[in-house]
Amino acid sequence: MSYLTNLKMGAFIPIDSPIHRLDPRFKIVSTLILLTFLFLVGSPYRLIPYLIFIIVLFYLSKVSFYMLLKGIKPILFLLIFAFIFQIFFTPGKVLIKLGFLSITEEGLNSGVLISFRLLLLVFLTNLLTFTTSPVEITNGIEELLKFLRFAKVPSHEIAMTMSIALRFIPTLFEEADRIMKAQMARGAEFGVGGFVKRIKSYIPLVIPLFVGVFRKAEELAIAMETRCYRGDIGRTRMKKLKLKRLDYIGILVLAVFLLANSVWEWR
C-alpha cells in the first residue's frame, strides 16, 4: 500500500517557499559550508548567531516548527548522553561533587558546546531534507560531482545508481510487505524466540526479497538497454539546473552572514 511508502520516502515536505525554490546545488554546498563553520566554533555563545540564522531560514521555509522539534526526537538520547558524558568526564576545575563523580566547569562548557552543536547540525540537515526532494538532491549531487570528473570520479554512474536506488525503495518496501504476509499465511512467525532463532526467522523474508531484487535488476537492465542507455555518452538532459536570481541573493546572504560572524568572532 502506498501509504506505507509515503511515510518512508524521506522527510521532504512539498510546499512552496523561497527555500524550497533554491537551487539544490547551492543548498547542498551551503549546508556543507555551514556544517564546517559550526565545527570551527569554539564556544557555545558563538553558536547563537547560527541558531538565529537557522531559525530565520526555517521561518522562510514555511515548514512548521512542530516539524523542526520533531526532528530532534531521534537524536535526543544521543544529545543527553553526550552532554552527561562531557560534564562528568572532562578534567578541570570541579564545580559540584556527586559522590565519586564530579561536574567540572570545562565539562559544562564542552557539554553545552557539543550538544548545542549537534542540535544545530540536525536542524541544518533537516532543513535541507525538508525543503529539497530526493530527486532534486540526486540531481544536485550529480551536477556537483561533475567537478570531480578530472579525478576520474564516475559522477554519472554514481548519480544513476543513487536515483535508481531511490526509485526502488518504495517498491522494495511493498515487496517485503507482500512476502512477509505470504509467509505469515503459511504459519511463519517473524522475530520470535531466542537470538539465533529470531535471526533465522527472517530467512523466509530475506531470501525471496534478494531473489526478487536480482530478477528486477535484470529486467530493469534490459529495459534500459531497450531505451538505448549506454552510460553518459552523448546523453542530454531535459532539465538543466541553472542558478536564478533567488540563488544569487542566497549566495550573497550566506557570504555576508559568514563574513560578519567570522569578523565578530575574531574581535
Partner 1 sequence: MIRLFDVRFAYGDRIVFDRINLEIRDGEWVALVGANGSGKSTLAKLLNGILLPTSGDVLIDNLNTRDEAALWEIRKRVGVVFQNPDTQIVASVVEEDIAFGPENLGVPPDEIRKRVDETLEMLRLTRFRSSPTYALSGGQKQKLAIAGILAMKPKYLVLDEPTSMLDPPSRDEINSILVNLYKEKKLTIVYSTHNPDEVLLARRVILLKNGEIAFDGDPVDFFSNPELPWSAGVKIPIIAYIAYRIRRRGLNISFPIFDAQRLADELWQLKSKT
Partner 2 sequence: MAIEVKNVSFCYGVGSPFEVKALSEISFKINHGENLGILGPTGSGKSTLVQLLNALLVPTEGEVLIDGLNTKERKNGKRIRELVGMVFQYPENQFFEDTVYDEVAFGARNLGLPPDEVDRRVRESIRLLGLPEKILRKSPFEISGGEKRKVAIASALVRKPKYLIFDEPLAGLDYPGSKALLRLLGSLRGRCSLIIVTHTLDELLGFIDKVLFLEEGKVKAFGNVLDLLDIEDLKKYVPVVDLLSRLKGKGFVFKSDLMDLGRIEEEIVRNVLLD
Q: Which residues contribute to the site for partner 1 (CB under 8 A)?
A: 2, 5, 9, 134-135, 163-164, 166-167, 170-171, 216, 219-220, 222-230, 234-240
Burial class (CB within 10 angstroms; exposed 0-12, middle 13-18, buried 19+) of 22: buried
CB of 222 to partner 1, least distance (A): 6
Question: Is residue 170 within the footprint of partner 2 (CB under 8 A)?
Answer: no
Residues 185, 204: contact at Cβ < 8 Å?
no
In angstroms, the CA 174 to CA 191 distance is 19
Question: Is residue 184 within the footprint of partner 2 (CB under 8 A)?
Answer: yes
In angstroms, the CA 117 to CA 119 distance is 5
Burial class (CB within 10 angstroms; exposed 0-12, middle 13-18, buried 19+) of 139: buried
CB of 216 to partner 1, least distance (A): 5
CB of 95 to partner 1, least distance (A): 53
Contacts of 192 (CB under 8 A, 6+ apart): 198, 201
Among 95, 199, 211, 221, binds partner 2 (CB under 8 A): 211
Compute how many residues bind partner 2; rule: CB under 8 A: 23
CB of 235 to partner 1, least distance (A): 6
Interaction site with partner 2 (CB under 8 A): 1, 3-4, 6-7, 178-179, 181-189, 203-204, 206-208, 211-212
